[in-house]
Amino acid sequence: MAEIETTSRHSFWTYVTFGTYNITWTIPTATMSLFMFFFYHTKIGLDPFLILVVTFINTLWAGLNDPLIGWLTDRNLKWTRKWGRRFPWIAIGIIPQSLSLIMIFAPPGTVSELGPLPVMLWLILSLFVFDLFITLVDIHVSILRADKFRTETERRKYAGSWGFFDMLAQILGMMLPPLLFFFGETILSYTVMAAIIAVIMIIFGAIFVFKGAREDKIIIDRYYSREYESVNVFKGVWLVLKQKSFMALYAGYVAFLVATTIMTGMVAYLVTFILRDPDAMIIYLALFLGGALISIPIWIRVLKKMNNNKKTYIIGSLILCCLIIPLTFFQTDIDLMIIMFFAGIGNGSVWTIGIPVLYSNVQDDFIVRNGKNQKGILIGTWAVISLVTAFIDEALITIVFISTGFDAGLADYTALVASGADVGLVLFGIRLLLGVIPAIVILVGTLIFWKFYPLTQEKVMENKAKLAEIGF
């Protein structure tokens, strides 16, 4: 097997500032995972099935919008020679991406005031705007990541920075919102919370734009080489869908995100309806994220020692699967705290390895297989992942809530009891969504990845050699 490259032309600050992008992406997605369903279900009073309908419509929109954005913008324009192909789009989208989060948490009224249709239309429009700009930015960041960090050494080094800032973003996205409810559990509190988080996103987005997102002459020169010739959009989508490495990683990572999004979303239900102590949310999220943060250097060391990206990812996923099952069966605050901490350690493996390492390997594979370095269509297709995730996780939540009789508009445990619902059954449904159901989802995704992902370490290094032959 070829030796791992040990050189890097990037400074320490390039790795650090590139990693700050994670805050501008992970904070809104973490906040959405934690509160969007809960907010519209319990505060706005929208039925879970109607939330699912909105999510389905938005998923269809993304299925068209995201690959099209990738295809339309993955070409040389008048500014490319000076600014690069990725940087201008990133700079254009950072601020609208941040501000669109406010729109989601600022509906004009509740279902009881306006009726369900106006609320649904507001949520659909908000999600359309949010997806448009977050996709515009994320597509070009994802491509730039693979173009900027070319060697396995660079990608593993970046994985540490990526993991650190991703954990920091998760902490900010999950722990800040409960601290920002200055006006109690009101709609205004959620709007103010979203506005403060948008400001944080803009600050870190500016750091990323001014340093990490810059494209140097080496990268820009590649845009004018022959391998950057355009590919037809429909042909491009077909090339992506038949790429085995892409589809296997996509399936595995969708499963991981579905599971963690369900778990994250259930924390608000856990502290509101089971523990009946909303202030405890910060403690449990801190333990979960603390375990993940501590595990990052451990998983980086394991990855380097094993020198096998696929195997390390599978081991980490299976460990995570085993560690989250007990979340369904906890009995006391103490054992719940312990379980949350160790679940975080397992979660750190997939966070650290999936995107910065495996995803970049898949992009390399796409170039080698097709002889063209136009990855926009691939990244655009990948961008649909968050919407597919949202649809699947909200479908599972909706099925469980409808099956257990958990009606919309029940803001706390007292309201749940007064509703006449089978309280024990509703609480058991929340428990299943915390542990057993996410574990099953992760296991299915891991098995698909293990069976079909073709990029052994030997194949990864073989692709590196072929990229070098074509001057990339």
User: What are the extents of the domains in the chain?
Assistant: 19-469
For residues 321 and 281, is the Cβ–Cβ distance under 8 A? no
Per-residue confidence (pLDDT) for residue 6, from 0 to 100: 52
Per-residue confidence (pLDDT) for residue 4, from 0 to 100: 47
How many CA atoms are closer than 13 Å to the CA of 43, on its beta-carbon side? 22
Tokens encoding 377: 């269509």
Q: What is the number of other CB atoms lying within 10 angstroms of the CB of residue 211?
A: 15
Rounded Cα gap, residues 336 and 326, in angstroms: 9
Residue keyed to tokens 């069976």: 451
Per-residue confidence (pLDDT) for residue 89, from 0 to 100: 87
Per-residue confidence (pLDDT) for residue 117, from 0 to 100: 94
For residues 82 and 10, is the Cβ–Cβ distance under 8 A? no
The dihedral sign for the CA sequence 270, 276, 281, 285 = negative
Residues in the chain, pLDDT under 70: 1-12, 66, 151-152, 155-157, 159-164, 166-167, 170, 177-185, 223, 225-237, 354-356, 371-387, 470-472
Per-residue confidence (pLDDT) for residue 180, from 0 to 100: 66
Burial category of 217 from C-beta neighbours within 10 Å (exposed 0-12, middle 13-18, buried 19 and up): exposed
Per-residue confidence (pLDDT) for residue 214, from 0 to 100: 80
Phi/psi of residue 67, nearest 5 degrees: -60, -35
Please name the residues in contact with 467: beta carbons below 8 A apart, sequence gap of 6 or more.
Answer: 150, 364, 367, 368
Tokens encoding 104: 């989601």
Per-residue confidence (pLDDT) for residue 375, from 0 to 100: 61
Tokens encoding 341: 């901490």
- The CATH classification number of 19-469 equals 1.20.1250.20
Per-residue confidence (pLDDT) for residue 376, from 0 to 100: 60
Per-residue confidence (pLDDT) for residue 465, from 0 to 100: 84
Instruction: Look up the pTM and report it.
Output: 0.71
